[in-house]
Amino acid sequence: MSSKTLQADLAAAIKELPPILTLSEAAEFMRLSTRTLRRLIAAGRLQTTKADSSRNGKVLVPRASIQRVLSGEG
C-alpha cells in the first residue's frame, strides 16, 4: 500500500470521528494508551480542553488535534 493511500485512508477515518473525543476515545482511535496521550499533552504536542474548569474536569480532545499528531504536524 502506498504512502498516499495510507494518508487518504487516515484522513477518511479522522473525518468520521466526532468533533470532540474523550481522552479514552482518542487513545483507542490512535491505538495509544491514555498515559501516552497525557505525555503528549504535557509535551504540548496534543491540544485538549476540559469539560469544566475544575481540576477534575474531563479531558476532551478535538478531532483536529488528533489529525495534527497523526499527520506528524503535532
**Model confidence over 6-44: pLDDT tens digits?**
888 888 999 999 999 999 999 999 999 999 999 999 999
Alpha helices by DSSP H, the chain: 3-15, 23-30, 34-42, 63-70
Residue 57 pLDDT exceeds 80: no
Nine-digit cell at 24?
479514552
Residue 64 pLDDT exceeds 90: yes
Give me the domain span that covers residue 50: 3-70
CATH number at residue 7: 1.10.1660
pTM beyond cutoff 0.85: no
Handedness of CA 4, 38, 46, 25 (dihedral sign): positive
Number of domains, the chain = 1
